[in-house]
Chain A
Amino acid sequence: MSPLKIKKGSTKHSAYNLRPTFSDVQETHTLAVLVDNEAGVLARVIGLFSGRGYNIDSLTVAEVDHEGGLSRITVVTTGTPQVIEQIKAQLGRIVPVHDVHDLTVEGGSVERELALIKVEGAGDKRVEALRLADIFRAQVVDSTLESFVFQITGTPEKVDAFADLMRPLGLAEIARTGVAALSRGI
């Protein structure tokens, strides 16, 4: 079973062919790209985006199948429908790329991101930070008398919202993993 759990070649009959290809609307899409885990493969993917002037909103990459030597790249990108189609076609052309899936149009997906957020402060602000963290189900993974490091998991929007709330409370540093995504269902 492929680690993507998506039928190979399923892009052919997907719904995106029904959308107007040449429109000016900017859309954000999450693409899952299954690649050979070999030297330089990430550079090929990133080079394609920079060389052709496409946007990368978020990018994650890690090996997902050690025996098969496959890595999964999840890239969130924004562009007109035509540009999104081009990106997919161009990605598909890269030799070590096995599969390109547009999770945004293929029946929806779950997307999660992890962030570590350092908040510095004392007194009421410190208490308020802890209280909000509790509401967001963020965990404290490090603590000193003047600081916390929170770990939060969720959609990028949830992470954004939490970070925005921490800002007036002494947000000092933030590290985000970028989006990992899987299609829903079978």
Chain B
Amino acid sequence: MTRQMTGAKMVVQALKDQGVDTVFGYPGGAVLPIYDEIFQQNGIRHFLVRHEQGAVHAAEGYARATGKPGVVLVTSGPGATNAVTGLTDALMDSIPIVVLTGQVPTFMIGSDAFQEADTVGITRPCTKHNWLVKDTDKLSGVIHEAFHVATSGRPGPVLVDIPKDVQFASGSYTEKAKAKVSHYQPQVKGDMETITQLVEAIENAERPIFYTGGGVINSGPGASQLLRELVEATGFPITSTLMGLGCYPASGKNWLGMLGMHGLYEANLAMHDCDLMINIGARFDDRITGRLDAFSPKSKKAHIDIDPSSINKVIKTDMPIIGDVGHVLEDVLKVWKARGRKVNREGLSKWWARIDEWRKVDCLKYKPSEKTIKPQHALDRLEALTKGRDRYICTEVGQHQMWAAQYLGFEDPNRWMTSGGLGTMGYGTPASIGVQVAHPDALVINVAGEASWLMNMQEMGTAVQYRLPVKQFILNNERLGMVRQWQELLHGERYSHSWSEALPDFVKLAEAFGAKGILCKDPADLDDAIMEMLDYDGPVIFDCLVEKHENCFPMIPSGEPHNKMLLGEASTKDAIGSKGAVMV
């Protein structure tokens, strides 16, 4: 027997059947029937954000901290267009998000109605897939399919556009089990022949490295566990992209730190000089590779990725393995163990000796100051004072983001939320709210720069309303730090529009929102101030005035290979050639 119900009720029922208990959203004319249904039930908690972009980032934070899809409900027109940045962000970082948008009634579509926008048209390139549902009978089936698409294969954002008359009309409800998900079934098991090739390469490699990425996190905690087992058993060094931090513990002895443009010296040089690169769930992003024709010239490359279009996109792969990281690692371990757990011990010990030499460079050292707070020092202290806690870190985008990746240690997956692919300033505050919603008792810190933070600061209202004790740790240099750094290195120190003028008093701002504000400018007060932030049971804006002209190092200048890293101020003169200057 099929159940009859209105489209609006179907939405709520389908969400419940999908196990959704949390929705981030903002009401408006075209979603009122759904909000009416939400009002009349208790199973789903709705969090009212202050801007639709915030809703999507909050859902992203929720998804990344839980591994479950994040759900967003917004209205038509501006509600949908405001969600576009979040959708693009989720697409670039492969985050499963289901966005439900209201639409003007079907008979008004195309008439330039009030708050009408071509939502599926606008969001087509920034979603994994989207649907406009014109028939109530199909609505619940589409929602179930949407969850399937968002979470299967390489995860990503999907959008379901629901006209208002479809929400009001009655139709028959399709159960989750009966929904059509048939032909979208991405391959999860890797090709055994190539896996065996990889195992052979593992057995013989003299200078191997694991290059891991967000795909390990997306594959679930089991994949991180398998990765750790493989790393420990082989004794190979491991590095990770920004997106993959936490898949292998920062305290692990084989950990080289993050790689890439602002990655660690030892990680980048090991990538450059290795003879076997095992890419697990990363995508050879331009922040990682630097100059393509000089990228890791001496290595055989294996690439494990669930998305066939990632293979050979920019870097030629010798051993492409299409499949889910967890499944493939399981098979790699199985085959490697069955063949007698061999590695090239002699080569490996020489390799580690070289890596240890690179480690001695201590590329993250900085000149401490007694007068001003160095941003690196602030993060060092934050790390020291929060280590061992049940901690989740979000960031905005810029210098502070790179410093956070360098100076904070991540022991587990799903504890680090940052906008990697799109680089969305304004991501961190709403993301921290999503994370705190998912983990109410955990310590959630958004490491921010003052410029990024201002981009979605309205979400402090959400934090205060729902008593979400998120800590906004702002490294305030009164500059658009990363822009300023590039202008210094690339544009003759002409600092065009890269300073933050007319900044608000963040302490007063916090108080205006009903949160706590803390100002810290003296290195001597830093520890006490951080403790005050941690001890406060509620949202905090921590205004940490830091050194204004600190640059973020190490750095691979644009258009240069891994072995041409800049380690500090002395090495920056004319570092970026004219070829590199056109790159971002």
**Across the interface, which residues of B come within 8 angstroms of A131, CB to CB?**
none
Please list the 8 inter-chain residue pairs (A to B) with the smallest Cβ-Cβ separation, ordered nearest first: A89-B309, A95-B129, A89-B308, A90-B309, A22-B316, A51-B125, A95-B184, A21-B312
> What is the CB-to-nearest-CB distance from B180 to chain A, in angstroms, rounded to a whole number?
10
Name the contact of A93 in the complex, choosing from B120, B121, B307 (C-beta under 8 A): B307
Interface residues, chain B, CB within 8 Å of chain A?
Answer: 120-121, 124-125, 128-129, 132, 149, 183-184, 307-309, 311-313, 316
Given contacts A82-B312, A85-B312, contact A43 B183 (CB under 8 A): no
A22–B313 alpha-carbon span in the complex (Å): 10
**Across the interface, which residues of B come within 8 angstroms of A93, CB to CB?**
307-309
A89–B308 alpha-carbon span in the complex (Å): 6
A12–B304 alpha-carbon span in the complex (Å): 17
In the complex, the number of residue pairs spanning A and B with C-beta atoms less than 8 Å apart equals 37
Q: Are B184 and A39 in contact (CB under 8 A)?
A: no
Q: Chain A: which residue is nearest B313 at the CB level? A: A86
Q: Are A40 and B120 in contact (CB under 8 A)?
A: yes
Interface string of A16-50 (1 = CB under 8 A from B): 00000110000000000000000110011001000
A22–B308 alpha-carbon span in the complex (Å): 16
Q: Are B121 and A43 in contact (CB under 8 A)?
A: yes
A108–B228 alpha-carbon span in the complex (Å): 47
A92 within 8 A of B: yes
> What is the CB-to-nearest-CB distance from B305 to chain A, in angstroms, rounded to a whole number?
11
A167–B550 alpha-carbon span in the complex (Å): 68
Q: Chain A: which residue is nearest B184 at the CB level? A: A95
**Across the interface, which residues of A come within 8 angstroms of B308, CB to CB?**
89, 92-93
A22–B183 alpha-carbon span in the complex (Å): 31
A89–B309 alpha-carbon span in the complex (Å): 5
> What is the CB-to-nearest-CB distance from A84 to chain B, in angstroms, rounded to a whole number?
11
A184 within 8 A of B: no
**Across the interface, which residues of B come within 8 angstroms of A82, CB to CB?**
312
A40–B183 alpha-carbon span in the complex (Å): 18
A137 within 8 A of B: no
A98 within 8 A of B: yes
Given contacts A39-B132, A95-B129, A95-B149, contact A44 B311 (CB under 8 A): no
- 26 inter-chain pairs at a CB distance below 8 angstroms, sorted by A residue, are A21-B312, A22-B312, A39-B132, A40-B120, A40-B121, A40-B124, A43-B121, A43-B124, A44-B124, A47-B124, A47-B125, A82-B312, A86-B312, A86-B313, A89-B307, A89-B309, A89-B311, A90-B309, A93-B308, A93-B309, A94-B129, A95-B128, A95-B129, A95-B149, A95-B184, A98-B183
A93–B156 alpha-carbon span in the complex (Å): 12
Q: Chain A: which residue is nearest B126 at the CB level? A: A51
Interface string of A77-108 (1 = CB under 8 A from B): 00000100110011011111010000000000
Q: Chain B: which residue is nearest A50 at the CB level? A: B125
**Across the interface, which residues of A come within 8 angstroms of B184, CB to CB?**
95
Q: Are B120 and A92 in contact (CB under 8 A)?
A: no
A90–B307 alpha-carbon span in the complex (Å): 9
**Across the interface, which residues of A come within 8 angstroms of B311, CB to CB?**
89
Name the contact of A21 in the complex, choosing from B120, B125, B309, B316 (C-beta under 8 A): B316
**Across the interface, which residues of B come within 8 angstroms of A43, CB to CB?**
121, 124
Which of the listed residues A44, A95, A96 has the most CB atoms from chain B within 10 Å of its own CB? A95
Q: Chain A: which residue is nearest B154 at the CB level? A: A93
**Across the interface, which residues of B come within 8 angstroms of A22, CB to CB?**
312, 316
**Across the interface, which residues of A come within 8 angstroms of B120, CB to CB?**
40
Number of interface residues of A (CB under 8 A): 19
A21–B316 alpha-carbon span in the complex (Å): 8
**Across the interface, which residues of A come within 8 angstroms of B183, CB to CB?**
98
**Across the interface, which residues of A come within 8 angstroms of B129, CB to CB?**
94-96
**Across the interface, which residues of A come within 8 angstroms of B309, CB to CB?**
86, 89-90, 92-93
**Across the interface, which residues of B come within 8 angstroms of A47, CB to CB?**
124-125
**Across the interface, which residues of A come within 8 angstroms of B307, CB to CB?**
89, 93
A90–B311 alpha-carbon span in the complex (Å): 11
A14–B559 alpha-carbon span in the complex (Å): 36
Q: Chain B: which residue is nearest A96 at the CB level? A: B129
A75–B120 alpha-carbon span in the complex (Å): 24
A86–B125 alpha-carbon span in the complex (Å): 17
> What is the CB-to-nearest-CB distance from B127 to chain A, in angstroms, rounded to a whole number?
10
> What is the CB-to-nearest-CB distance from A118 to chain B, in angstroms, rounded to a whole number?
34
A2–B243 alpha-carbon span in the complex (Å): 41
A85–B316 alpha-carbon span in the complex (Å): 12
> What is the CB-to-nearest-CB distance from B99 to chain A, in angstroms, rounded to a whole number?
16
Task: Add 9 more A-B contacts to A21-B312, A47-B124, A51-B125 (CB < 8 A).
Answer: A40-B124, A43-B121, A85-B312, A86-B309, A86-B312, A89-B309, A92-B308, A92-B309, A93-B308
Q: Chain B: which residue is nearest A9 at the CB level? A: B187
A21–B318 alpha-carbon span in the complex (Å): 11
Q: Chain B: which residue is nearest A99 at the CB level? A: B183
Q: Chain A: which residue is nearest B120 at the CB level? A: A40
A111–B570 alpha-carbon span in the complex (Å): 63
> What is the CB-to-nearest-CB distance from B341 to chain A, in angstroms, rounded to a whole number?
31
> What is the CB-to-nearest-CB distance from B344 to chain A, in angstroms, rounded to a whole number?
29
A82–B284 alpha-carbon span in the complex (Å): 15
**Across the interface, which residues of A come within 8 angstroms of B312, CB to CB?**
21-22, 82, 85-86
**Across the interface, which residues of A come within 8 angstroms of B124, CB to CB?**
40, 43-44, 47
**Across the interface, which residues of B come within 8 angstroms of A44, CB to CB?**
124
Q: Chain B: which residue is nearest A20 at the CB level? A: B316
A82–B184 alpha-carbon span in the complex (Å): 25
Q: Chain B: which residue is nearest A97 at the CB level? A: B183
A43–B313 alpha-carbon span in the complex (Å): 23
A128–B184 alpha-carbon span in the complex (Å): 56
**Across the interface, which residues of B come within 8 angstroms of A95, CB to CB?**
128-129, 149, 184
A96–B129 alpha-carbon span in the complex (Å): 9
A34–B320 alpha-carbon span in the complex (Å): 25
A93–B312 alpha-carbon span in the complex (Å): 15
Q: Chain B: which residue is nearest A39 at the CB level? A: B132
**Across the interface, which residues of B come within 8 angstroms of A85, CB to CB?**
312
Interface string of A117-141 (1 = CB under 8 A from B): 0000000000000000000000000
A40–B125 alpha-carbon span in the complex (Å): 12
> What is the CB-to-nearest-CB distance from A100 to chain B, in angstroms, rounded to a whole number?
10
In chain A, positions 36-81 with a C-beta closer than 8 Å to chain B are 39-40, 43-44, 47, 51
A43–B122 alpha-carbon span in the complex (Å): 11
A21–B129 alpha-carbon span in the complex (Å): 29
> What is the CB-to-nearest-CB distance from A98 to chain B, in angstroms, rounded to a whole number?
6
A75–B347 alpha-carbon span in the complex (Å): 50
> What is the CB-to-nearest-CB distance from B148 to chain A, in angstroms, rounded to a whole number?
10
A92–B121 alpha-carbon span in the complex (Å): 20
> What is the CB-to-nearest-CB distance from B298 to chain A, in angstroms, rounded to a whole number?
17
A93–B308 alpha-carbon span in the complex (Å): 8
Which of the listed residues B121, B129, B183, B309 has the most CB atoms from chain A within 10 Å of its own CB? B309
